[in-house]
Each structure stands twice: as C-alpha cells, then as structure tokens.
C-alpha cells in the first residue's frame, strides 16, 4: 500500500540546508496499522507530511497504491490526495462555523457527492466513532476527545487507502487518549483501513502492529534497537 524509498529531506534556513531525514525506506501493507515513533524534532511530522503529499522530498520516492506521489504534478496530486489519503491532526482542525455533520461531510462536497448520500455516510461514521448524538452541534460545543472523533470520521468519509495521524492524542488526557487509540484500533480491524500513527509515546506505539522508530532523522532498525538493549560492557555481556 505504501512504499517509502530512500527519502532524504533538508530544510533551507537562510543560506544553510539542514538535513532532517536521512535515507528513509520502509513498506506498509494494506490493512496494517503502524506507529512512527520518535522524540520531538526527530522528523516524524516531516516524514508524515511527505507521505501525505503535502511537501516534496529533496530526494527519493513514495508510492501509495503503486502511484509515485513525488513525481505527481500539483493538480493530479491534489485529486489523488482527496481520493486516497486521509489525515488526522493533533489539533483536530475542524471548521468552527460548520456543524459536526457538515465537517464530516466536507471532503465529499469537494467530490460533488449528493447531499443525501453525504448525510447518510456522515451519520454512519459518527455512529462508528461513538458520537451519533452530536451531529448538529458545533465543534466549540464538544470536548477535545469528541472533536478528535469528528476529525477521525471526516478522515474516513472518502474511504481513503491510507490515513495519516500526527500525534492524534497529543492534546488529550490519558483516559481520552486510550479511548481515541481504541477507536483507531477498532476502525483498523473492522474497516481494514491502513493507518500510520505518529507518536512520541511508547505506550501508544506498542499497541500498533509494527513500530518504525526515528532518531535525529534516521530510521532505527530492529537490529540496532536489539544491539542497544544489550549490555555494553564485555563482562556483563
């Protein structure tokens, strides 16, 4: 479903180029739920934004459902993104002037889906994320956890090939965090949606099927992790 090949990325600050991702490669299968784990500044959001086609990498290729999104021009990419990619943000990014149901329907408005079908799909998804009674409220009338449920429903409405979530529980208390992660795990099981979840919390990452760890822009392999876990001193070894 997702193939990341030899991705390198640098940001320009003034006249200097700062490398933030160094030769990253990995694959994710259809229906998998994986974590991208790393501390603050390790390059998680940059990697996620590249995979979601929101930025172009300095080097490398990213294939989603066998299409190289790095090579795609802006017009084709924006159509592709709407069809294949869902995104969940840390700060929900709901539109405050629209109701919950209208927020969930919004991606389908851009695809010219009829109002009655949009409504039906949005209400079904609000049921799935456990807030069927909130459809006619506005985002400001909801708790953070409820707003994130709305944002999850919105990301699913186009039935995307893959959903990227950037620290989806970063603004939530630990009880609400567990609820949101449980919803994502349930959606992955029942709808077979592929999820890539960025987090800096081990406890969150460990609930996913696989973990990719980033450190200072490098992907840490399982072998490296195992080697680091071993005692360093010869005698102890």
Which of the stretches 35-43, 83-91, 116-124, 226-234 binds ligand ADP when contact is defined by CB under 6 A?
A: 35-43
Q: By CB under 6 A, name the one of 2, 37, 43, 151 that touches ligand ADP.
A: 43
Which of the stretches 39-47, 69-77, 107-115, 143-151 binds ligand ADP when contact is defined by CB under 6 A?
A: 39-47
Question: How far is it, in rounded angstroms, from Cα 5 to Cα 61?
Answer: 5
53 binds, among ligand ADP, Mg ion, none (CB under 5 to 8 A by kind): none
| By the rule CB under 6 A, 45 interacts with ligand ADP | yes
Burial of residue 204, with CB atoms counted within 10 A of its CB: 0-12 exposed, 13-18 middle, 19 or more buried: buried
| By the rule CB under 5 A, 199 interacts with Mg ion | no
Which of the stretches 24-32, 38-46, 75-83, 152-160 binds ligand ADP when contact is defined by CB under 6 A?
A: 38-46
| By the rule CB under 6 A, 38 interacts with ligand ADP | yes
Q: Which DSSP string corresponds to 156-218?
A: HTT--SEEEEESTTTTS-HHHHHHHHHHHHHHHHHH--EEEEEES-HHHHTTSSEEEEEETTE
Question: Taking the complex as a whole, how short is the minimal distance between the CB of residue 133 and ligand ADP, in angstroms?
Answer: 34
Which of the stretches 40-48, 57-65, 145-153, 207-215 binds Mg ion when contact is defined by CB under 5 A?
A: 40-48
Q: By CB under 5 A, name the one of 42, 45, 103, 169 that touches Mg ion.
A: 45
Question: Taking the complex as a whole, how short is the minimal distance between the CB of residue 79 and Mg ion, in angstroms?
Answer: 27
| By the rule CB under 6 A, 13 interacts with ligand ADP | yes
What are the tokens at 184? 């994502």
Question: How far is it, in rounded angstroms, from Cα 43 to Cα 20?
Answer: 6
Question: How far is it, in rounded angstroms, from Cα 127 to Cα 144?
Answer: 18
Q: By CB under 6 A, name the one of 14, 15, 16, 40 that touches ligand ADP.
A: 40
Question: How far is it, in rounded angstroms, from Cα 225 to Cα 214?
Answer: 11
Point out which residues pair with 192 in neighbouring strands.
none
Which residue lies nearer to Mg ion by CB, 105 or 217?
A: 217
The two most distant CA atoms of the chain are separated, in Å, by 71
Q: At what angle do helices 100-109 and 115-128 cross, to 10 degrees?
A: 130
| By the rule CB under 5 A, 46 interacts with Mg ion | no
The site for ligand ADP (CB under 6 A) is made up of 11, 13, 20, 38, 40-46
């Amino acid at each position: 479903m997702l193939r990341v090949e030899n991705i390198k990325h640098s940001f320009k600050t003034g006249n200097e180029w700062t490398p933030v991702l160094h030769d990253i490669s990995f694959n994710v299968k259809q229906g998998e739920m994986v974590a991208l784990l790393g501390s603050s500044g390790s390059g998680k959001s940059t990697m996620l934004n590249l995979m979601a086609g929101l930025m172009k990498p300095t080097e490398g290729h990213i294939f989603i459902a066998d299409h190289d999104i790095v090579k795609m021009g802006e017009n084709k990419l924006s159509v592709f993104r709407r069809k294949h990619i869902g995104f969940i943000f840390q700060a929900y990014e709901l539109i405050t002037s629209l109701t919950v149901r209208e927020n969930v329907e919004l991606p389908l408005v851009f695809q010219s889906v009829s109002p009655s079908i949009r409504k039906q799909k949005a209400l079904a998804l609000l049921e799935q994320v456990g807030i069927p009674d909130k459809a006619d409220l506005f985002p400001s009338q909801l708790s953070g956890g409820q707003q994130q449920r709305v944002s999850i429903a919105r990301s699913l409405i186009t039935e995307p090939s893959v959903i990227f979530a950037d620290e989806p529980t970063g603004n939530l208390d630990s009880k609400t965090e567990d609820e949101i992660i449980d919803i994502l795990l349930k959606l992955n099981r029942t709808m077979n949606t592929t999820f890539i979840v960025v987090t800096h919390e081990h406890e969150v990452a460990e609930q996913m099927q696989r973990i990719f760890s980033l450190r200072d822009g490098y992907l840490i392999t399982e072998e490296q992790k195992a080697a680091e876990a071993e005692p360093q001193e010869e005698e102890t070894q």
